[in-house]
Amino acid sequence: MPAGPVRAAIRYAAALLMTVLLASGCSRATPVADPAVVTTESGPVRGSTGPGVRIFEGVPYAAAPVGPLRWQPPVAPVSWTAVRDATKPGSRCIQDTRVDPDYGRETSEDCLNLTVWAPNGATPDSPRPVMVWIHGGGFLNGSSDIYKSTRLAGRGDIVVVTINYRLGALGFLAHPALEARDGDRGNYGLADQQAALRWVRDNIAAFGGDPAKVTIAGESAGAISVCDHLVAPESNGLFRAAIMQSGPCSSQADLPAAERISTAYAAGKGCGDPASARRCLNALPADRLRDGPPYVRIGANILSGPVIGTPRLPVAPATVAHRGPIVRVPTLIGTTADEFTLSVAISYLRNERLAPYRTLLENTFGAEAPVIAARYPLQRYGGSTALAYAATVTDGVFACPVDVMAADLAGRAPVYAYEFNDRSAPVAEPIRRVPFPIGAAHALELRYLFDMGGAPPLDPAQRELSEEMIAYWSRFVTTGAPDMPGLIEWPELNPERPQRLTLQTGGSTVTSDFAERHQCAFWASRG
């Protein structure tokens, strides 16, 4: 046979042999890695894939704080070798289910878990910036899985981590008998948040996140937590930027007040004897500890939370923001235009009425009530007790203290201030039945960033605002500045000529009358 045909026959035979080998499974080709499986320092986890994202739910970042670990700093979780299922939410922390925003879900002391939302393009070789979200709920309620982050992670092209942390008495009881082994007291939930941030530092690269580009973010109690991390020594170095939404950072208790309130709380649980208080409290079932020590009251609302003047939180962030030991990082900070109307609506629905205007002011502001009533007369609000009272708390507790915090921080690092002003933002059906407008109330901006249920969907104009906000927030997480091409320029805050971005349907705009509209000079004069 001539040489040419021979060589052709050999090539044909070789190709045929390779086909047979491949068909019989004898190929040595490298198998494609499963993108839903990621190996953490504690063991492998299998998540799920959604539209444009991979989702890993209920991933432990610390051991269950039970038995001898109750009221102690978190410790590392027990490692595992088999692939762990991460396709459903982890347990929520023990909380007061009477005001539960997520009815029917399991609560447990074994709740120190988190969820990772990673855009499909995020890999260890192509990492994305990270936003760690700390949920609100007055340090008494809430959970990480309320904040579905598919659009924020996918469209923003960032990794989002939402975390659970101990709440109420289990998270923040500052009884003198409960001093932790590290010498701290009352800050177990804050220690959980720090443990989650360390987990992100050590593990997020495997999910396609960049541990050198972490932004901490939160709303309400979550924003107060962010304030605390700015001054907490053990939080230093764990993030490079901060987002604070509707967080009155001054609404926190110092150690003497927290100890007094915690001692009374323990006595109410049958643990009033100082000599046996620790043993008695540790013996209580978790169900007896669903509420928490009432450290701060804002009208009918109660906040628990971290305790100031302790090793973990030595100073109050609101008092040292201008001068003092505070981390200098770019900050995005703001409030909603009508912060307190939602709380007033809930009180109205619960009692089918409101107390007289003067009574509400006295319960909230004490001896200052007459002066505040004169400054916020009922006739200015059409005779509406609800709207007048909501305006006082919106301005005096939220808007103006946050404005002061923003101005103080602006002297130390770039600050970008906003006000959310969609006065037709969706609310739950019962709330819509109250005889006064809700407006742009506390927490209503959240569904513009996260996929949340419980209210009608956003209309087309609100969807457009939502896309705008996601673009600004994710750009800030990515670069430390919300300088998003194609959108209105968001100026850096200058306390001498304060401007902020007003986020609203029909076109967001830059405004400079925030302090005047919220009467911040008056509130500053009240101390």
pLDDT at 418 (0 to 100): 98
Alpha helices, DSSP H, located in 61-177: 150-156, 168-172
pLDDT of residue 223: 98
Q: In whole angstroms, give the CA distance from residue 341 to residue 524.
A: 22
At residue 103, the pLDDT reads 55
Report residue 107: phi and psi, to 5°. -120, 150
Regions of the chain where pLDDT drops below 70: 1-32, 98-104
Please, which residues bridge with residue 60 across strands? 113
Contact 198, 111 (CB under 8 A): no
Q: pTM value?
A: 0.93
SS3 39: strand
Distance CA 246, CA 248 (A): 6
Residues 166 and 189: beta-carbon distance below 8 Å: yes
* Predicted pLDDT at 100: 56
Question: Closest by alpha carbon to 432, among 335, 360, 355, 348?
Answer: 348
Rounded alpha-carbon distances, angstroms, from residue 256 to 149, 260, 305: 39, 6, 14
Q: What is the largest CA-CA distance in the chain?
A: 114
What are the two backbone dihedrals, phi and then psi, of residue 227, each rounded to the nearest 5 degrees? -50, -45
Residue ranges per structural domain of the chain: 49-329, 336-356+385-445+457-527
Closest CA to 357 of 338, 343, 344, 339: 344
For residue range 466-503, list pLDDT tens digits in order: 999 999 999 999 999 999 999 999 999 999 999 999 99
Q: Which residues contact 401 (CB under 8 A, 6 or more apart)?
A: 248, 249, 250, 318, 523
Q: Of the residues 219, 339, 419, 445, which is catalytic?
A: 339
**Confidence (pLDDT) at 101:** 53
Residue 19: per-residue pLDDT: 32
Domain 49-329 fold: Rossmann fold (3.40.50)
Query: What pLDDT is recorded for position 380?
Result: 97
Using H for helix, E for strand and C for coil, what is the string for 442-469? CCHHHHHCCECCCCCCCCHHHHHHHHHH
The one catalytic residue among 220, 235, 304, 474: 220
The two tokens of residue 63 are: 């051991």
Q: Which two tokens stand for residue 404?
A: 């002061």
Residue 30's pLDDT is what?
40
Q: How far apart are CA 304 and CA 296, in angstroms?
A: 7
Q: For residue 339, indicate whether it is catalytic.
A: yes
Estimate the share of the chain in helix, then strand, then coil, as percent rounded to the nearest 5.
40, 15, 45
Nearest CA among 429, 438, 336, 334 for reference residue 386? 438
Structure confidence by residue, pLDDT tens digits, 291-307: 999 999 998 899 999 99
Whole-number Å distance between alpha carbons of 240 and 216: 8
Is residue 343 annotated as a catalytic residue, yes or no? no
Catalytic residue, from 384, 442, 466, 474: name it: 442
CA dihedral 227, 241, 163, 430 (to 10 degrees): 70
User: Can you give the three-state secondary structure of 233-285, one letter per residue?
Assistant: HHHCCCCCEEEEECCCCCCCEEHHHHHHHHHHHHHHCCCCCCCCHHHHHHHCC
Residue for token pair 């539209």: 51
